[in-house]
Protein backbone atom coordinates (compact mmCIF):
# COMPACT_ATOMS: atom_id res chain seq x y z
CA UNK A 1 0.00 0.00 0.00
CA UNK A 2 1.33 3.44 -0.94
CA UNK A 3 0.45 6.12 1.61
CA UNK A 4 1.00 9.87 1.22
CA UNK A 5 1.98 11.17 4.66
CA UNK A 6 0.76 14.67 5.50
CA UNK A 7 3.07 17.08 7.36
CA UNK A 8 0.86 16.95 10.46
CA UNK A 9 1.83 13.27 10.84
CA UNK A 10 5.56 13.92 10.33
CA UNK A 11 5.79 16.79 12.80
CA UNK A 12 5.10 15.03 16.13
CA UNK A 13 8.22 12.97 16.82
CA UNK A 14 6.70 9.84 18.35
CA UNK A 15 3.97 9.62 15.73
CA UNK A 16 6.54 10.06 12.95
CA UNK A 17 8.87 7.46 14.43
CA UNK A 18 6.04 4.93 14.68
CA UNK A 19 4.84 5.55 11.13
CA UNK A 20 8.32 5.62 9.58
CA UNK A 21 9.41 2.63 11.66
CA UNK A 22 6.54 0.59 10.23
CA UNK A 23 7.44 1.78 6.73
CA UNK A 24 11.06 0.77 7.30
CA UNK A 25 9.78 -2.68 8.28
CA UNK A 26 8.13 -2.87 4.83
CA UNK A 27 4.58 -2.80 6.18
CA UNK A 28 3.65 -0.07 3.68
CA UNK A 29 5.31 2.28 1.18
CA UNK A 30 5.53 5.87 2.45
CA UNK A 31 5.20 8.84 0.13
CA UNK A 32 5.66 12.59 0.62
CA UNK A 33 6.58 15.63 -1.42
CA UNK A 34 9.33 18.18 -1.00
CA UNK A 35 6.62 20.68 -0.03
CA UNK A 36 5.30 18.38 2.73
CA UNK A 37 8.82 17.95 4.11
CA UNK A 38 9.34 21.72 3.99
CA UNK A 39 6.09 22.26 5.91
CA UNK A 40 7.41 19.96 8.62
CA UNK A 41 10.73 21.82 8.82
CA UNK A 42 8.97 25.19 9.01
CA UNK A 43 6.51 23.96 11.66
CA UNK A 44 9.28 23.18 14.14
CA UNK A 45 10.78 26.68 13.86
CA UNK A 46 8.40 27.78 16.61
CA UNK A 47 10.33 25.45 18.95
CA UNK A 48 13.58 27.22 18.12
CA UNK A 49 16.21 27.31 15.40
CA UNK A 50 17.97 24.21 16.72
CA UNK A 51 14.79 22.19 16.18
CA UNK A 52 14.68 23.22 12.54
CA UNK A 53 18.26 22.03 12.09
CA UNK A 54 17.32 18.69 13.66
CA UNK A 55 14.23 18.39 11.44
CA UNK A 56 16.27 19.12 8.31
CA UNK A 57 18.76 16.44 9.35
CA UNK A 58 15.92 13.97 9.80
CA UNK A 59 14.52 14.94 6.40
CA UNK A 60 17.91 14.20 4.83
CA UNK A 61 17.91 10.80 6.54
CA UNK A 62 14.37 10.06 5.33
CA UNK A 63 15.31 10.92 1.77
CA UNK A 64 18.32 8.60 2.00
CA UNK A 65 16.38 5.76 3.64
CA UNK A 66 13.41 6.02 1.25
CA UNK A 67 14.82 7.24 -2.08
CA UNK A 68 11.63 6.41 -3.98
CA UNK A 69 9.23 8.04 -1.52
CA UNK A 70 9.36 11.63 -2.73
CA UNK A 71 6.67 12.60 -5.22
CA UNK A 72 6.79 16.03 -6.75
CA UNK A 73 4.04 17.55 -8.81
CA UNK A 74 4.53 20.58 -11.05
CA UNK A 75 2.56 23.61 -9.86
CA UNK A 76 0.73 23.58 -13.20
CA UNK A 77 -0.90 20.25 -12.28
CA UNK A 78 -2.45 21.55 -9.04
CA UNK A 79 -5.27 23.51 -10.67
CA UNK A 80 -7.36 20.41 -11.43
CA UNK A 81 -7.70 19.53 -7.73
CA UNK A 82 -9.94 20.99 -5.04
CA UNK A 83 -10.00 20.72 -1.26
CA UNK A 84 -11.66 22.95 1.37
CA UNK A 85 -8.23 24.30 2.31
CA UNK A 86 -6.36 25.34 -0.86
CA UNK A 87 -3.08 24.97 1.05
CA UNK A 88 -3.65 21.19 1.16
CA UNK A 89 -4.26 20.70 -2.57
CA UNK A 90 -0.59 19.87 -3.09
CA UNK A 91 -0.98 16.84 -0.78
CA UNK A 92 -3.89 15.50 -2.81
CA UNK A 93 -2.09 16.18 -6.09
CA UNK A 94 1.04 14.39 -4.87
CA UNK A 95 -1.03 11.41 -3.71
CA UNK A 96 -2.69 11.11 -7.11
CA UNK A 97 0.55 11.71 -9.01
CA UNK A 98 2.34 9.15 -6.81
CA UNK A 99 -0.34 6.47 -7.39
CA UNK A 100 -1.08 6.34 -3.68
CA UNK A 101 -3.86 4.32 -2.10
CA UNK A 102 -4.39 6.68 0.84
CA UNK A 103 -3.49 9.96 2.51
CA UNK A 104 -2.49 9.70 6.16
CA UNK A 105 -3.56 12.82 8.00
CA UNK A 106 -5.07 14.13 11.21
CA UNK A 107 -7.00 16.81 9.28
CA UNK A 108 -10.26 15.05 8.46
CA UNK A 109 -12.19 18.21 7.60
CA UNK A 110 -9.53 19.34 5.12
CA UNK A 111 -9.56 16.00 3.29
CA UNK A 112 -13.23 15.06 2.78
CA UNK A 113 -13.72 11.36 2.12
CA UNK A 114 -15.99 11.96 -0.88
CA UNK A 115 -13.41 14.18 -2.60
CA UNK A 116 -10.66 11.64 -1.97
CA UNK A 117 -12.88 8.78 -3.16
CA UNK A 118 -13.33 10.57 -6.50
CA UNK A 119 -9.56 10.25 -6.89
CA UNK A 120 -9.51 6.62 -5.71
CA UNK A 121 -7.97 7.51 -2.35
CA UNK A 122 -8.74 6.71 1.26
CA UNK A 123 -8.12 9.04 4.19
CA UNK A 124 -6.41 7.19 7.03
CA UNK A 125 -5.85 8.32 10.59
CA UNK A 126 -2.38 7.37 11.91
CA UNK A 127 -3.77 5.64 15.01
CA UNK A 128 -6.27 3.53 13.07
CA UNK A 129 -3.73 2.79 10.34
CA UNK A 130 -1.04 1.66 12.79
CA UNK A 131 -3.60 -0.37 14.73
CA UNK A 132 -4.49 -2.14 11.48
CA UNK A 133 -0.82 -2.85 10.82
CA UNK A 134 -0.56 -4.21 14.35
CA UNK A 135 -3.40 -6.60 13.54
CA UNK A 136 -1.51 -7.82 10.46
CA UNK A 137 2.00 -7.91 11.94
CA UNK A 138 1.79 -7.60 15.73
CA UNK A 139 5.38 -8.58 16.46
CA UNK A 140 6.79 -6.11 13.94
CA UNK A 141 4.69 -3.17 15.18
CA UNK A 142 5.44 -4.08 18.80
CA UNK A 143 9.15 -4.10 17.96
CA UNK A 144 8.94 -0.68 16.34
CA UNK A 145 7.02 0.65 19.35
CA UNK A 146 9.53 -0.81 21.80
CA UNK A 147 12.35 1.01 19.99
CA UNK A 148 10.40 4.27 20.00
CA UNK A 149 9.69 3.88 23.72
CA UNK A 150 13.37 3.33 24.54
CA UNK A 151 14.37 6.40 22.54
CA UNK A 152 11.61 8.55 24.10
CA UNK A 153 12.78 7.57 27.57
CA UNK A 154 16.40 8.32 26.66
CA UNK A 155 15.66 11.72 25.13
CA UNK A 156 13.13 12.92 27.71
CA UNK A 157 14.58 11.37 30.85
CA UNK A 158 11.04 10.29 31.75
CA UNK A 159 9.96 6.74 32.54
CA UNK A 160 7.21 6.54 29.92
CA UNK A 161 4.86 3.61 29.71
CA UNK A 162 3.96 2.42 26.24
CA UNK A 163 0.33 3.36 26.68
CA UNK A 164 1.13 6.78 28.14
CA UNK A 165 3.63 7.65 25.42
CA UNK A 166 1.38 6.61 22.56
CA UNK A 167 -1.64 8.32 24.11
CA UNK A 168 0.32 11.58 24.34
CA UNK A 169 1.38 11.04 20.71
CA UNK A 170 -2.28 10.84 19.62
CA UNK A 171 -2.05 7.08 19.09
CA UNK A 172 -4.28 5.96 22.00
CA UNK A 173 -5.83 2.86 20.41
CA UNK A 174 -2.43 1.54 19.36
CA UNK A 175 -1.12 2.28 22.86
CA UNK A 176 -3.98 0.30 24.40
CA UNK A 177 -3.35 -2.62 22.07
CA UNK A 178 0.36 -2.66 22.90
CA UNK A 179 -0.04 -2.18 26.68
Q: For 33-37, 52-56, 122-126, 165-169, which range has the lowest pLDDT when averaged over its residues?
A: 52-56
pLDDT at 24 over 90: yes
Alpha-carbon distances of 95 from 81, 92, 103, 111, 121, rounded to whole Å: 11, 5, 7, 12, 8
Confidence of residue 47 (pLDDT cuts 50, 70, 90): confident
pLDDT at 9 over 90: yes
Q: For 43-57, 66-80, 87-101, 119-133, which range has the lowest pLDDT when averaged over its residues?
A: 43-57
Confidence of residue 142 (pLDDT cuts 50, 70, 90): very high
pLDDT at 48 over 90: no
Instruction: Tell how far CA 151 is from the center of its chain.
Output: 18
Alpha-carbon gap, residue 79 to 58, rounded angstroms: 31
What phi and psi, each to the nearest 5 degrees, are found at residue 82? -140, 140
- Are residues 96 and 121 in contact, defined by beta-carbon separation less than 8 angstroms? yes
pLDDT of 49: 80
pLDDT at 118 over 90: yes
Higher pLDDT: 52 or 35? It is 35
pTM: 0.94
Q: What percent of the chain has pLDDT over 70?
A: 100
- Are residues 52 and 45 in contact, defined by beta-carbon separation less than 8 angstroms? yes
Confidence of residue 100 (pLDDT cuts 50, 70, 90): very high
pLDDT at 45 over 90: no
- 2: helix, strand or coil: strand
pLDDT of 62: 97
pLDDT of 46: 84
Strand 29-31 and strand 122-124: the pairing is unpaired
pLDDT at 12 over 90: no
Alpha-carbon distances of 86 from 40, 94, 105, 131, 179, rounded to whole Å: 18, 14, 16, 30, 39
pLDDT of 21: 98
What is the chain's length? 179
- Are residues 2 and 32 in contact, defined by beta-carbon separation less than 8 angstroms? no
* DSSP, residue by residue, 42-89: HHGGGG-HHHHHHHHHHHHHHHHH-TT-B----GGGGGG---SSGGGH
Q: How many CA atoms lie within 13 A of 129 on its CB side?
A: 29
Amino acid sequence: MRVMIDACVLYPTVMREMVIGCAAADLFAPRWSARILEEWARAVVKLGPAQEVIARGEITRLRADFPDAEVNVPESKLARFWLPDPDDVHVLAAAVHGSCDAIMTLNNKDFPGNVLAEEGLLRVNPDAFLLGLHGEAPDVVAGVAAGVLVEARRLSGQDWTMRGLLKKARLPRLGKALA
